[in-house]
A and B are shown apart, each in its own frame.
Chain A
Amino acid sequence: MAYKPQFYPGSTSVGINRRKHMSGNIDKLRDIPEADVVAIMGHRAPGADYASTHPPLKEMGEPDCPVRQLVAPTAGAAAGDRVRYSQWTDSMYFAPSIPYFRSYWGAINCKGCDPGTLSGRQIIEARERDIEDYTKAQYDSEVTDVALCSMRGCTVHGHSLRLEENGMQFDMLARTEMGADGNVYAVKDQVGIPLDKKINLGKAMSEAEAKKRTTIFRFDGVPMGGKVGERKFDEAIEMTHHMWERRSKWGYRPE
Chain B
Amino acid sequence: MAVKHTKKLFIKALNKKFGKDFDLAGQKVEYKRLGPEQNARKREFMEYAKKLEGKRGMTGYNPYVHAGGIPLGQRQLVPYKLSSTEYVVEGDDLHFVNNPAMQQMWDDIRRTIIVGLDMAHEVLQKRLGKEVTPETINNYLEILNHAMPGAAVVQEHMVETHPGLVDDCNVRVFTGDDALADEIDDQYKIDINKMFPEDQAETIKAAIGKTSWQAVHIPTIVVRSCDGGTTSRWSAMQLSMTFIDAYNMCAGEAAVADLAYAAKHAAVLHMSDMLPARRARGPNNPGGLSFGYMADMVQTSRVKPQDPVYVSLNVVAAGSMLYDQIWLGSYMSGGVGFTQYATAAYTNDVLDDFSYYGVDYAVDKFGGFAKAPATIDVAKELATEVTLYGIEQYEAFPTLLEDHFGGSQRAAVLAAASGITSAIASGHSQIGLAGWYLSMLLHKEAWGRLGFFGYDLQDQCGPTNVFSYQSDEGNPLELRGANYPNYAMNVGHQGEYAGITSAAHAGRMDAFAVSPLIKVTFANPGLVFDWANIRDCFGKGGAREFRAAGERSLVMPAV
Residues of A within 8 A of B (CB): 18, 92-93, 97-101, 116-120, 154-155, 157, 159-165, 167, 170, 172-174, 188, 191-194, 215-220, 223-229, 231, 236-237, 239-241, 243-245, 247-252
Contact = CB atoms under 8 A, between A and B. Distances in A.
A104 to B, nearest CB: 9
Contact of B449 (A117, A162, A191, A229): A117
Contact of B469 (A101, A163, A252): A252
A160 B2 contact: no
Contact of A157 (B75, B450, B465): B75
A144 to B, nearest CB: 15
Contacts of A99: 448-449
Interface string B360-403: 00000000000000001000100011001101100110110110
A225 B384 CA distance: 9
Contact of B70 (A172, A191, A224, A249): A172
B457 to A, nearest CB: 12
A199 B75 CA distance: 25
Indicate the member of B407, B408, B447 with the most A CB atoms within 10 Å: B447
Interface in B403-450: 404-408, 410-411, 434, 437-438, 441-442, 444-450
A101 B447 CA distance: 10
Given A119-B449, A120-B407, A173-B68, A164 B388 contact: no
Given A229-B2, A231-B388, A240-B442, A100 B449 contact: yes
A119 B68 contact: no
28 contacts: A98-B447, A101-B448, A118-B407, A119-B408, A119-B451, A120-B449, A159-B449, A160-B406, A161-B405, A162-B26, A162-B398, A163-B29, A164-B30, A165-B29, A192-B68, A217-B445, A218-B395, A219-B391, A219-B395, A225-B446, A229-B2, A240-B438, A240-B442, A241-B384, A247-B463, A248-B467, A249-B376, A251-B465
Given A162-B399, A192-B70, A228 B467 contact: no
The size class of the interface chain B forms with chain A is: 35 or more
B28 A161 contact: no
B469 A241 contact: no
Contacts of B555: none
Contacts of B392: 219, 223, 227-228
Nearest to A116: B453
B193 interface: no
Contacts of A220: 395-396
B380 A245 contact: yes
A137 to B, nearest CB: 19
Nearest to B398: A162
Contacts of B407: 118-120, 160
Nearest to A98: B448
Interface in B274-306: none
A239 B456 CA distance: 18
Contacts of B469: 252
Nearest to A119: B407
Indicate the member of A161, A173, A237, A241 with the most B CB atoms within 10 Å: A161
Contacts of A194: 68
Contacts of A236: 445-446
